[in-house]
Structure 1
Amino acid sequence: MNALVDFARALDFAAHKHTDQRRKGVRAEPYVNHLAEVARLVAEATEGKDRVAILAALLHDTLEDTDATREELERAFGAEVAAVVAEVTDDKRLSKAERKQRQIDGAATKSHAAKLVKLADKTSNLRSMAASPPANWTQARKREYFDWAKAVVDRIRGTHAGLEAAFDAAYDAGIAGLQGV
């Protein structure tokens, strides 16, 4: 199928699945903004050539945060895309601390496409945290989030220099902002 049609279908699917979701920050941006940024980062990094990674980037939170199923993703976008989405999906049955540690511990064993999605996701999250942090988060909690994201990314260094540089810039800007408050 045509890559642009696939992209439009995945964007439509993700937008409908995340319809009522907003970012946690004070601006409460529509969640689809995050999905679009993650997909754009992956598309730019791969020069639009990694269809699976780009579609997975758009869909990366559907299994974790919506009623979407892996089977539904497989039917709509193929087994490869569904597998990458599953790779980056946290097991919500675990505690938040366990999920965070599993992201660190398992990062290096992910597929290349999943690593690209993870790099873009962490970059987008840090940018969002710096621009519009949750109102009730202390400076210490924000710092912990930045450091945890860095711990995940440090496990997948060597995946893509451009995405890693974008992450590092977001991390450095965010940390500087925290210190400047």
Structure 2
Amino acid sequence: MLLGISAPANSPQIAKKEATKQDAAKVETATFAAGCFWGTEEFFRKVPGVIETRVGFTGGTTPKPKYDETHDGHTGHAESVEIKFDPAVVSYDQLLDLFFKMHDPTTLNRQGNDQGTQYRSAIFYHGDRQKKQALKFKEKVEKSKAWKAPLTTEIAEAKTFWPAEEEHQKYLVKHPGGYDNHFLRNISFDHSP
């Protein structure tokens, strides 16, 4: 004789599944390119409310690019960081603020010694709300005159994100003191008319 056993609707197993679904619904994704992805990831992964980061490539045309393939500029991809975050803890605007302070958004296709389109400054938005926020925040940064030169930051819709090889994930955790040209500028984007 076979008995069917199912959990009652108010069981802990069902409650846990529902809580997990609700938690997943609260997680948002942001994608930024700010030069070498090792340093960019290192900044974002330390932010309270950031749940997960991974480095990779987006914004180009070549499917499944590898790290070595992106350095001649022919793939069109930017070294990027995809961020999963809890908007109840850290807002998208706070991530934008950090993005514009951790790298120089006025240098076209360059950050420090790193040159090429793969090192461009870019915000890859996920949905209309992020697009509006990114455009508004970029305008705020421009009006603040915190950066003396015009911004070169591209704002584009997020397309397929191709994760980089495992050796590049959390690179500066694996290689403390490794190459990084990112630093936090002590600047404000608040603008008084």
Q: Larger relative contact order (C-alpha < 8 A, sep ≥ 6)?
A: 2
Greater strand content? 2
Of structures 1 and 2, the larger Rg is shown by: 2
TM over 0.5: no
Q: Which has the higher helix share?
A: 1
For normalisation by structure 1, the TM-score amounts to 0.31
